[in-house]
Amino acid sequence: MANLNIVLLEPEIPSNTGNIGRTCVATGTRLHLIEPLGFRLTEKNLRRAGMDYWKDLDVTTYINYEDFLEKNPGAKIYMATTKGPQVYTDVSYGPDCYIMFGKESAGIPEEILLENQERAVRIPMIGDIRSLNLANSVAIVLYEALRQNNFDHMRLDGHLTKYDWK
């Protein structure tokens, strides 16, 4: 079974993290938050964006990046960054991999990227756009990882409420 992990390194905007938490609940993905956070986990905007799903979220917080690495030894971590040398669809995401995203204002520090360049990936964009919204970026890369793992454990069929599909 796929046990994917999303890692947010020092997220700053509570509504982004709330939306990402909701996406994690919908996909059975664990969320890892590396401090410092730009908000409190009890903040109203975080809970509002996560709706009533936040209580079902599998979330772990870490005091810093080193604490995260120490508590997840051997984790295969992909670094999602606008500076990545390869496109996010060009790598193979294993069923238990970690996908890390940096804070909204600065991304993942270049020292960390340099140490992980073979797993640094980017979402293609045109022109001089700095970056996509963090929650959107997480959804794009996460769903590619889920697709590569055949949407393991996910519901693949939809149902109408009043009618049957023909």
Q: Is 123 annotated as a binding residue?
A: yes
137 is in an annotated binding site: no
CA distance 34 to 143: 22
Distances (CA, A) of 42 to 12, 18, 50, 150: 14, 11, 12, 35
Q: How far, in Å, are 120, 127, 146, 163 from residue 60 at the CA level?
A: 23, 36, 21, 41
Residue 125 main-chain phi, psi, to 5 deg: -145, 160
Cα distance between residue 30 and residue 7, in whole Å: 8
Q: How far apart are CA 82 and CA 122, in angstroms?
A: 5
Is the Cβ–Cβ distance between 64 and 34 less than 8 Å?
Answer: yes
Q: Specify binding-site residues.
A: 102, 123, 131
Residues within the annotated binding site for S-adenosyl-L-methionine? 102, 123, 131
